[in-house]
Structure 1
């Protein structure tokens, strides 16, 4: 680590896996550049502080009931957190500012909407992190007007046509997004827009010019504030993770026994839920493909069950002949492994970027929200993966796994992915776009 510069940064992650990891990656980067780090966090999904001995941690109550904590409605969860955390957060931050140390700024996630007025009232600059692809963050603010204009009722039946309002989505993707929550989500999105515009800067922790050049130009016009695209941030500290789940390391030893590029890695992330029927279709599809697989079935992923218990014993025995099922995996290690030849993914942005950085082609099974856009970039724009188009059926899964791992089409996709990996990899190296943006961010924070 470089010598301390005497400046402290306060960080406040949203307690969701997809936001926690990038926030801690950013914290490690800033600490390596001389900043002291204090993390304010909720009791809900509290980080494992023992993994981060160089940081100071302060816990605040979040007011969530056990019922609240178990909800699958992410928008509801974030709304409740924003409602109940404001008072304890203000109290905690006020006490920190009264101590005799130089606090440079607050860095928190765009999903915290009460922190902007709190920071402003305390004369503390607030920088906002965002974990979406830039094009989704910039574009998703068009969704409330589209919904209000009765977009759903105005569309024809050609659902595979491009959605001109939100490229590269197709109409069926946009319809799927618009069919989600309405008033609560629209109001929340509007508050994110307003509080982000009022902030002192916007940090895209998992994007770079190479992945989002046009959208970054648009974002700078729309927001009129300093924007830093420093990602893929995990590349600065490879293998570093702040997982809220305990990864099963035995899967790495299992991968060691497999042939190069032979394994399909399957994970739907930390939030997505599937039905028992979909679980069985995936299981049969993987088994019938006759290819080795590593499959993450986290506890609570399957609606109404704990997870793998929904798979009949006879099928489980057949699955174990070819693959390995774990409750959570060290994803960066898995994607980096020589045996991993493809990633069947929900296309959360973190997972998508990690796959690009390791040169692993994808099979896209997006479920909600930004996943649908990320999948279109993978399959239609960069052409580094195949899209299941919502067909979670055993025959389709068997077919697409074999296409990717065994057929000439898969080799072509792998070559395209190799080129994209090299392009994005250059961004975090000296004089790369992300590296320059990171240095600009460090200089900016130091100027407060």
Structure 2
């Protein structure tokens, strides 16, 4: 593994292997974070990094002085992006960024006297316009898929799922097993509740096509975790597959958060007993209604367990969290709970006081929890989160499903299953076993180490 000194030479230093890479991420936290982590990994292996990005949700260059950042005009106004779903934002960027991206590459290539100045482009497959632009510059294009392999398989099976009648989902089918995609049930399929389903299916189809026509698909996952899904994907999939995760375990990660973490999270955890705290965070996008928020609050309080609860701005629809909390709630807890607007999640999950993670099961959060051996309470909200939660609770058995909705009694029961009862001890043992696998996969005999070597070989051969 690279040391801090190895991975942060001066931006002007000649790359060790003479190769430069371009990166382009979808400007959402869950996509930007692994893309920057991957750039860090490849930089540590001697590649020079140029990170192309939209002005909307742009990364902070000061956190990455070893990269060159290249903004492009996206023509996205605050009014236009406010309240947009992930699906609608991706669609808008694919319309508005074609010409700016082409102009950016024109400039970068004209500034470089070499015949082939860049070894390749690594982009998000949701940015489907990048394929034709990269092709016009004779630039090999790899894609980083920011979901797990199991979820990607489900997305790639949409035509089959439609043909078999699983999609669009009918309420009467929710508990049915999808025979073609074990262990998923119909309700675990990665769909988004949007008014125009056909438009959604087309976006997914283009995402899969971008992966299939790429020079390779990179996953922030590892074979020891998703071996069955990886084996199944290999069958008939035309592009090479590189599962090289978990990205954040290669070296201490640089912050890529769009929100500033509250440092009081760690100082509060420092005062708690080992494995005594449940960490609650639903990511950078998910939001709940006021009624659900109150049930979460009372479920946490009634569990009698200690908790660190992240309530970011916008996570309660239409309200500030101070307005939504019951009057006198914090005083009633007598120090058992701590609430912040944002936390440094990697630090929190690695803290010895944390005994469980109540999560929306975004892939980054799921993998980070697995890597630290922290059991999960699973509350998926949309898309690949349902797939991830099913694997966590059914296949890997390192978490419990929050059953029968967001009601305080269900919440209290789920928390106590993990934090107090004997079942939680068994789950914790399995979680610690997966933690060891996540650690060993990055050693020289591990699958991710070998997969990364294969990726570097492909990137260096251009």
Contact residue 366 and residue 390 of structure 1 kept, 8 A = no
Query: Which residue is equivalent to 1:385?
Result: 399
Q: Deviations over 1:387-437 (max 9, x none)?
A: 013521111111111121111111111011111111222111122100111
Contact residue 261 and residue 340 of structure 1 kept, 8 A = yes
Contact residue 20 and residue 49 of structure 2 kept, 8 A = yes
1:172, CA displacement in angstroms?
Answer: 3.1
Q: Matches of residues 129-168 of structure 1 in structure 2 within 5 Å?
A: 129-147=144-162, 150-151=165-166, 157=172, 159-168=174-183
Over 3 Å counting, the alpha-carbon distance change for 1:320 and 1:79 in structure 2 is farther
In 1: Cα distance, 2:162 partner to 2:404 partner: 22
How many residues get paired?
Answer: 446
Indicate the SS of the match to 2:59: coil
Contact residue 298 and residue 327 of structure 1 kept, 8 A = yes
Indicate the SS of the match to 1:194: helix
Indicate the SS of the match to 2:97: helix
Query: Which residue is equivalent to 1:4?
Result: 16
Indicate the SS of the match to 1:313: coil
Over 3 Å counting, the alpha-carbon distance change for 1:97 and 1:278 in structure 2 is same
In 2: Cα distance, 1:389 partner to 1:285 partner: 13
Query: Which residue is equivalent to 1:31?
Result: 43
In 1: Cα distance, 2:403 partner to 2:303 partner: 19
Q: Deviations over 1:173-192 (max 9, x none)?
A: 34x83755511111111111
Please identify, of 61-70 and 328-337, the stretch whose mean Cα deviation from structure 2 is larger: 61-70
Contact residue 71 and residue 77 of structure 1 kept, 8 A = no
Contact residue 361 and residue 379 of structure 2 kept, 8 A = yes
Q: Structure 2, unaligned stretches of length 5 or more?
A: 1-5, 8-14
In 1: Cα distance, 2:323 partner to 2:376 partner: 27
In 2: Cα distance, 1:115 partner to 1:317 partner: 53
In 1: Cα distance, 2:385 partner to 2:395 partner: 15
Over 3 Å counting, the alpha-carbon distance change for 1:85 and 1:293 in structure 2 is same
Task: Give 1:314's match in structure 2, choosing from 328, 349, 356.
Answer: 328
Task: Give 1:105's match in structure 2, choosing from 100, 112, 120.
Answer: 120
In 1: Cα distance, 2:282 partner to 2:226 partner: 24
1:5, CA displacement in angstroms?
Answer: 1.6
Q: Deviations over 1:248-305 (max 9, x none)?
A: 1110000000000000000001111111111111001001111110011110111112
Query: Which residue is equivalent to 2:427?
Result: 413
Give the root-mean-square deviation of aligned CA atoms.
1.9
Query: Which residue is equivalent to 1:360?
Result: 374
Query: Which residue is equivalent to 2:347?
Result: 333
The structure richer in helix per residue is 1
In 2: Cα distance, 1:161 partner to 1:196 partner: 29
Q: Deviations over 1:106-164 (max 9, x none)?
A: 11111110000100011010110001111111221323553476546896846434222
In 2: Cα distance, 1:225 partner to 1:14 partner: 21
Q: Matches of residues 82-231 of structure 1 in structure 2 within 5 Å?
A: 82-98=94-110, 99-101=112-114, 102-147=117-162, 150-151=165-166, 157=172, 159-174=174-189, 177=191, 180=194, 181-204=196-219, 206-231=220-245
